[in-house]
Structure 1
Amino acid sequence: MNRETRQTAIATFLILAIFGTFLYFVPTIMLAVGKISSALGVVVIGVVLLAPFLFFWLRARSQKKKAD
């Protein structure tokens, strides 16, 4: 494992750890939002589920631009 792959692995671990910690609180957030509006709850969970994919997609694009 060279320096670049080690940094990538550490960054990925930190991102997933932070997102995993956030997921721990999602049920509480969903119950609170659900009391306001069930449609808003659907939007919130959609954002929660799409956020890591969007983040990693943007990160991959950024890394690709750096490589070029």
Structure 2
Amino acid sequence: MSPESRSQATAAGIILLGAALVIYFLPTIVLWIGNFSPVLAIFVGVCLIMAFFAVFWLRARYQRSRGK
């Protein structure tokens, strides 16, 4: 395994671990915020889910700009 592929695997693992933690705690977070405002809870839930995809999109753009 080359150092570059090891770095990519580590980055993907950290991203997936972070996403798993957010998704695991998402219902608790949304229900807690929903006590104050249901609309805000929906907005926060959507933002947390979209952040998962945004990280991979930004990473792909960065790698594309580096010519890989």
Shorter-chain-normalised TM-score: which range?
0.7 to 0.9
Runs (5+) with no aligned partner, structure 2: none
**Matched residues in 2 for 1:11 and 1:51: separation?**
16
Q: Report the aligned-residue RMSD.
A: 1.5
The normalised TM-score by structure 2 is 0.86
Give every structure 1 segment of 4 or more consecutive aligned residues whose post-TM-superposition deviation is greater than 2 Å.
none
Aligned length: 68
Gaps of 5+ in 1: none
Q: Which residue in the other structure is 2:48 paired with?
A: 48
**Structure 1 CA distance for aligned equivalents of residues 52 and 22 of structure 2:** 11
- Please give the TM-score of this superposition, normalised by the length of structure 1: 0.86
C-alpha deviation, 1:43, in angstroms: 0.4
* Percentage of pairs with the same residue: 38
**TM superposition shift of 1:22:** 2.1
Which deviations, in whole Å up to 9, do the C-alpha atoms of 1:11-68 show, x marking residues without a partner? 1011110121122221111111111111111101110110011111111111111127
CA contact (8 A) 2:22 2:48 kept: no
CA distance in 2, matches of 1:25, 1:61: 28
Higher relative helix content:
1
